[in-house]
Structure 1
Amino acid sequence: MKKNQKFGIFTGIGIVFLLLTFAPQGQAQSENPGPRVGIKGGANFSQFFVDQPTVDDENMKVGLHFGIFTKIALTDFLAIQPELLYTSLGSKVSYGGSDVESLLGIREGEVRFNLNYIQLPLGLAFNIGPLNVNAGPYVSYLISANVKDLKSSDLSTSDPIELNKDDFNSIDYGLFAGVGFDIGNVSIGARYNHGLREVGSEGLGGTLTNNSRNGVAQIFLGFGF
């Protein structure tokens, strides 16, 4: 039943995206600068802040994102910009102390979380000449996840960490805001995504990422058709 519900949700999202992409765009959009439909991609600088007393330090993980976008003008200055992206998030977390070893069966060291999502941001873009300011909500679906011990000599035991996507929440959602420049059919910009749902689910995934949410800064380059 859950699989059918998820399939229905993302089928509906895909249909909405296609309708927005190919809908009549009107005279107002012809006066709006920048690409109307295109591809984009760039770098992610992600981190989540673990509320966990045995965490010594957290470091940024570098990932990537890429996908398609469309811009639908509402007025000369205002447009809706839906996107469909693959995005790779996560964080590097250093654990230490006897509590981790006794509770989770690992020794102190650094662990890298790799979380890969399909994301649908739905932005409202305010255009001021070539400059645009955009913000809005997003929803993401987790397609894969893994945890890697970066210091195997420190962390390896008879019961090593084995986490996969079942240890993390499949649906993530949050808000984003950013700025961009449209130069002809080329777009460049930066954005920040702030997750509103906890990353980990119940069990070991929830314990290791206690109360953590996705946070990611992005830089991107887009090309319009």
Structure 2
Amino acid sequence: MKKLLLLSVLVLGISTTQAQMLQFGVKGGLNFANYTGGDVEGFDFKTITSYHFGAVMEVKIFENFAIQPELLYSTQGSELDGFSQQIKNELGYLSLPVLAKFYLTSNGLSLELGPQASVLVSERNNVDTGDSNTFDFAIAGGLSYKITKGLFVSARYAAGLTEPKKEADVKNSLVQLSVGYLF
């Protein structure tokens, strides 16, 4: 009986400590997406404005360091302009960024950096642009600021490392502006 009581107190203590170090939340915002890198002959790439939304979790490791995994739906792609036609290529991804979060100041300013893996879940084109790869990998980095204990804003850049289109030597390039709330 004493062992059961001791184990219960230990589990309760660990869960209380973990609750203070673990926060869940939601976020959403604007994407400014384009293709970079290679060249599709005769076309110029133009930025598209789209959106992202999803869930965020912050796991505090130390006072000034946390790990922040997110699960987002994010639309990316580009508009191609050339040969007297405009082609809009919008790719919908389920993205999983896992960011190291370094708090730079005590008032909530932080630097975020880490990998982002994405799986293609939808594609919308006004003209057939060829086959898309179903997986995208990127490096993401940016700044975040906690306005209150729960409310935050962030700005991030994600540089694609894989090709979203099979026939084109291009990479995704993404700027995200977000607002979110941690509970």
Q: What's the counterpart of residue 135 of structure 2?
A: 171
CA offsets per residue over residues 98-146 of structure 1, 9 Å max, x none?
Answer: xxxxxxxxxx311100100000000000012210110100100000112
Q: CA deviation at 1:24?
A: 5.0
Using the alignment, how far apart are the partners of 2:82 and 2:120 within structure 1?
A: 25
- State which of 128, 139, 144 in structure 2 corresponds to 1:162: 128
Moved over 4 A (4+): none
Q: What's the counterpart of residue 147 of structure 1?
A: 125
Q: What's the counterpart of residue 100 of structure 1?
A: none
Using the alignment, how far apart are the partners of 1:75 and 1:224 within structure 2?
A: 18
Whichever residue aligns with residue 185 of structure 1, its letter is: G
Q: What's the counterpart of residue 109 of structure 1?
A: 85
Q: What's the counterpart of residue 51 of structure 1?
A: 39
Whichever residue aligns with residue 188 of structure 1, its letter is: V
Change (3 A) 1:200 1:24: farther
Q: What's the counterpart of residue 10 of structure 2?
A: none
Q: CA deviation at 1:26?
A: 3.5
CA contact (8 A) 1:25 1:72 kept: no
Using the alignment, how far apart are the partners of 1:134 and 1:93 within structure 2?
A: 31
Using the alignment, how far apart are the partners of 2:92 and 2:16 within structure 1?
A: 33
CA offsets per residue over residues 127-176 of structure 1, 9 Å max, x none?
Answer: 1221011010010000011211xxxxxxxxxxxx4357xx1000100100
- Match of 1:198, SS state, is coil
Q: What's the counterpart of residue 158 of structure 2?
A: 193
Whichever residue aligns with residue 122 of structure 2, its letter is: S
Q: Which runs of 5+ in 1 are unaligned?
A: 1-22, 97-107, 149-160
2:174 pairs with 1:223 = no
Change (3 A) 1:163 1:24: farther
Q: What's the counterpart of residue 77 of structure 2?
A: 90
Q: What's the counterpart of residue 120 of structure 1?
A: 96
RMSD: 2.0
Using the alignment, how far apart are the partners of 1:190 and 1:51 within structure 2?
A: 28
- State which of 40, 45, 52 in structure 2 corresponds to 1:65: 52
Whichever residue aligns with residue 111 of structure 1, its letter is: I
Q: Which runs of 5+ in 2 are unaligned?
A: 1-13
